[in-house]
Amino acid sequence: MVIKTNENGFTLYTTLIAITIIAICITLQLAILRALHQNTYYDQISIQQFFNLIQREVIEANGYSVGKDIINLELDNGEIATIEQYGTLIRRQVNHVGHEIYLRDIKSFAVYSLLNGFKIHIQTKKGDSYEKIIVYYP
């Protein structure tokens, strides 16, 4: 009689461990896929933050002027801060120097003058539109 001491193959124990690992991976994968399909509010939050920055800068400015797609703010130190669209970006420059990016992936940026301030209209590349009225208190 021949005795085999080294048998290769699967046992019930190793099969149960493999099935347990596969079940855990499938459960995790389903949870990750659900998380990927949830809406993100990155664009909305960044545009609201942009509006808050503009409001704060207008409050701190000595004066302002607006064009169709540009905002000029007169700062306390006599410099002029310009906020305008540059390609798909909205940037801020001081005395036409520098390149501080406020927003990305912007399709259009328009500024309309009002009696006591101005209105900003932004359209993103995704097609979302945002408007904000900025009030100026001299």
Residue 132, pLDDT score: 94
Map out the domains of the chain as residue ranges. Answer: 10-39, 42-135
Across residues 6-15, what is the average pLDDT? 73
Q: What is the pLDDT of residue 30?
A: 85
> What average pLDDT does this structure show over 54-65?
91
At 129 the pLDDT is 94
Rounded CA-CA distance 74/94 in Å is 10
String of b and e for 78-94 (b: at least 16 CB within 10 Å)?
Answer: eebbbbbbeeeebbbee
pLDDT digits (tens, 9 = 90+) for 79-122: 999 999 999 999 999 999 988 999 999 999 999 999 889 999 99
Quick one: pLDDT at residue 7? 63
Task: Tell me: pLDDT of 60 over 70.
Answer: yes
Mean pLDDT of the chain: 88
C-alpha gyration radius of the chain: 29
At 120-129, the pLDDT tens digits run 999 999 889 9
Going by pLDDT thresholds of 50, 70 and 90, the confidence category of residue 34 is confident
52, 64 Cβ separation under 8 angstroms: no
pTM > 0.85: yes or no: no
